[in-house]
Amino acid sequence: MEWSIQEIARRAGTTSRTLRHYGDIGLLAPSRTAANGYRYYDQDALVRLQRILLLRELGLSLPAIKGVLEGQRDPAVALRTHLRLLEQERERIGRQITSVRTTLHRIEEGEELMAEDVFDGFDHTRYEQEVTERWGREAYERGDRWWRGLGDEERAEFLGVHDAIARDYGEARAAGLGPASDEVQEIARRHCAWLSVTTEVTRAYVTGLAEMYVSDPRFARNYDRHGDGTAVFVRDALTIHAQHRLPG
């Protein structure tokens, strides 16, 4: 069974132009092209498109998606990974919804707010496995103790600093600055200073973390929120900074 490009575009909530672009860049080839130039897609193409759309939802750029697809050719294995990530995200969003509803109810009723209710679903511990595997249990526990020792305002301030850094990266990339430019390297310095609050910042640590910003969708979407390549830009800027400014 196969579907025309118009049918697939309509069902996927996208456009024929987008699908043709995916084909032109080698991301989604049609299963066949008719003599009149019309493109048709079979079941394998549908599964690949689903994977592309899922990764786009997770914030990856098209070049990053192409790399993921090329590195994970078994669609069943890939979809199980996607499913796990989506289920984790659904659980996190569900907790955030409950948290906001609870906060709203307490405000409207004039009740005292509880920090554990306000911040449920915003917990950094969802990265526990990655941190432990890459940098050891001690590194995770040190950061965890530091985070739990902060007050509500201190947590908000710490996250606000990172939001400003991420915004500045995006604006610098949009302005056409290179990752090695003085302006961007100053952002990278601020980024490393922010990281140093919770851990020892070394060349190996920063380059490893920078790579995760691109390879792991959960990290990538902190920077590449619009699929514009900012995550790659951040990785390159941090890698340059680490190579020239940080100890090994």
Query: What does the domain layout of the chain look like in residue ranges?
Result: 2-71, 126-245
Per-residue confidence (pLDDT) for residue 7, from 0 to 100: 92
Per-residue confidence (pLDDT) for residue 225, from 0 to 100: 61
The topology under which CATH files domain 2-71 is Multidrug-efflux Transporter Regulator; Chain: A; Domain 2 (1.10.1660)
Classify each residue of 84-110 as buried b or exposed e, where b means 16 or more C-beta atoms within 10 Å of its C-beta. Answer: ebeeebeebeeeeeebeebbeeeeeee
Pick from 25-34, 180-189, 190-199: least confident = 190-199
CATH code: domain 126-245 is: 1.10.490.50
Please write the tens of the pLDDT for every residue from 36-45: 989 999 988 9
In this chain, the answer to whether the domains covering 2-71 and 126-245 adopt an identical fold is no
d(CA 17, CA 97): 36
Would you say 30 and 41 are in contact if contact means Cβ atoms under 8 Å apart?
A: yes
Q: Report CA-CA distances (Å) from 111 to 99, 121, 197, 226.
A: 14, 21, 34, 38
Please write the tens of the pLDDT for every residue from 63-102: 878 877 776 667 777 677 667 767 766 776 776 677 677 6
d(CA 202, CA 196): 9
0.85 exceeded by pTM: no
Would you say 124 and 198 are in contact if contact means Cβ atoms under 8 Å apart?
A: no
Any idea how long the chain is?
Answer: 248
Considering all CA atoms of the chain, what is the largest pairwise distance in Å, rounded to the nearest integer? 70
Kindly tell me if the per-residue pLDDT of 26 is higher than 70.
Answer: yes
d(CA 34, CA 175): 42
Tell me which range, 35-39, 50-54, 56-60, 228-232, is most confidently predicted by mean pLDDT: 35-39
Neighbours of 188 (CB within 10 A): 25
Would you say 210 and 224 are in contact if contact means Cβ atoms under 8 Å apart?
A: no
Q: What is the strand order of the sheet 32-33 is part of?
A: 2-4, 39-42, 32-33
- H/E stretch holding 3 reads strand 2-4
Name the phi and psi angles at 33, rounded to 5: -120, 125
- Tokens representing 59 are 């914030």
